[in-house]
Every structure is written in C-alpha cells, then in structure tokens.
C-alpha cells in the first residue's frame, strides 16, 4: 500500500483498466475562487496517486485528463457534484460517467441523515478514516504526511463502497433512479458554475 506523489500530471500507464476513484482538494468551496490543488486517483488496487498543481499552473496534464475524460472509465466519487465542477473548471474536462457514493447512500440509507464519507466507510466497510486534514491548506509547496494520508484515504475505499451500495440499490429497486441521478451530475455541476449553485430549479419557487 503506497501513496505515490506527482507534480502537475499523472505518469502514463500507472493505472489498471476499469473504474477509477477520484477526489479533489481545493483552496476552498467556491470553485471559481478556490483553485484546484490536488487530484487523487485510485484504480482500486493497493496504491493511490496524488497529483499536485502549483499556484499559476497551466493545468496542462494530458495523462490525467485522458483518464478523467475517458468515456469507458466510470469515475467513483463521494459528492461528485463538487469534484466534477472543480475538474471541469480547472482541467477543462468533464470527468464522467459517474458513480457517486453520497447520492447512492441518500437513496438507500434512508434510516439516517449521516452521509459523510467517514460515516459510510465506518458503516459499510467497518473501517475508520480521519477527516482531521479536511480543512487544511492544500496550496503550499509541501504536503505533510498527514495531508498525503488523508488525501489518499479519500479515494481508498470508494471501489468497495460502490460494490456494497450497488447491492443495496438493487435490493431496494432504486438502481435505475440512482443511475439517472448520476447521469445528471455533469449538468448539475455546470449549473453550479453558471450561477445556479443555491437554486433548486425543480422547486416551485
Ligand atoms: Mn478529499
């Protein structure tokens, strides 16, 4: 189990075929203001890859973009809406098709309102992760060991969680509805960037 650290792009050929788990770390929650600092990616094997971008980066990352834009690779996220927006805004690619563990959780774990990554990893897999570095400074030239471990742990469990969530979605007859939600997520992210981030366009008001 190794966390590989890269600057400005992923090396070619480091990922196995199939779905990849993806997460991003940014300077904050306002995509247009808060630059993309780190993209984490895992093919479900024992290693995770972190790609760090410098201030003023051109975000010219052909290997990473090729993986993210590949229509034959499902991208697994926890709260895809945010990551899709950051990736499209800074890297210029729509990183779909999508499986979002938070959406899946909301559709099957209707007995709770706790849909954070930590809650899911705990309940579905019986593992524990720390969210201590969540609101740390991702913009500096050096990432601490704690930050690297945290960033990697955000993609480490998504493949296994997807398997479990698919079982539950199928059991409850909600797989089709979940898939339709996943398919809409690129548009939901584009609405965020375009100014509808706080408006539910489906509501009556
Ligand atoms: Mn994260």
Mean pLDDT (the chain) is 96
Does residue 172 register a pLDDT over 90? yes
Token pair in block for residue 21? 């788990």
Rounded-to-5 percentages of helix, strand, coil across the chain: 40, 15, 45
151 C-alpha vs ligand 1 centroid, how far in Å?
Answer: 6
35 C-alpha vs ligand 1 centroid, how far in Å?
Answer: 14
Residue 134, pLDDT score: 78
CA distance 95 to 19: 12
Token pair in block for residue 138? 């991702």
Strand residue runs (E) in the chain: 3-7, 20-26, 36-42, 48-52, 75-77, 98-100
205 C-alpha vs ligand 1 centroid, how far in Å?
Answer: 33
The answer to whether the beta carbons of residues 100 and 75 sit under 8 Å apart is no
pLDDT in tens, 13-50: 999 999 999 999 999 999 999 999 999 999 999 999 99
134 C-alpha vs ligand 1 centroid, how far in Å?
Answer: 7
Residue 131, pLDDT score: 81
Token pair in block for residue 201? 């366009």
CA distance 79 to 178: 13
Using only C-alpha atoms, the chain has a radius of gyration, in whole angstroms, of: 16
Residue 130, pLDDT score: 85
Mean pLDDT of 150-154: 96
Residue 128, pLDDT score: 92
153 C-alpha vs ligand 1 centroid, how far in Å?
Answer: 8
Does residue 132 register a pLDDT over 90? no
Token pair in block for residue 96? 């779909």
pLDDT in tens, 70-105: 999 999 999 999 999 999 999 999 999 999 999 999
pLDDT in tens, 180-204: 999 999 999 999 999 999 999 999 9
Residue 118, pLDDT score: 96
150 C-alpha vs ligand 1 centroid, how far in Å?
Answer: 7
53 C-alpha vs ligand 1 centroid, how far in Å?
Answer: 15
């Amino acid at each position: 189990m190794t966390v590989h650290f890269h600057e400005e792009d992923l090396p070619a050929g480091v990922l196995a075929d199939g779905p990849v788990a993806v997460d991003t770390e940014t300077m904050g929650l306002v995509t247009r203001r808060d630059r993309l600092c780190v993209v984490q990616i895992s093919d479900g094997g024992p290693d995770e890859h972190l790609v760090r971008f410098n201030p003023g980066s051109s975000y010219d990352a052909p290997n990473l973009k090729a993986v993210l834009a590949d229509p034959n690779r499902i991208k697994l996220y926890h709260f895809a809406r945010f990551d899709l927006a950051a990736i499209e805004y800074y890297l210029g690619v729509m990183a779909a098709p999508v499986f979002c563990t938070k959406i899946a959780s909301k559709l099957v774990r209707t007995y709770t309102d706790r849909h954070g990554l930590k809650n899911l990893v705990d309940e579905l897999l019986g593992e524990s992760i720390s969210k201590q570095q969540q609101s740390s400074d991702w913009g500096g030239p050096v990432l601490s060991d704690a930050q690297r471990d945290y960033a990697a742990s955000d993609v480490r469990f998504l493949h296994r969680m997807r398997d479990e969530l698919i079982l539950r979605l199928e059991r409850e007859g909600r797989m089709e509805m979940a898939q339709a939600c996943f398919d809409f997520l690129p548009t939901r992210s584009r609405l965020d960037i375009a100014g509808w981030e706080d408006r539910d366009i489906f509501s009556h008001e």
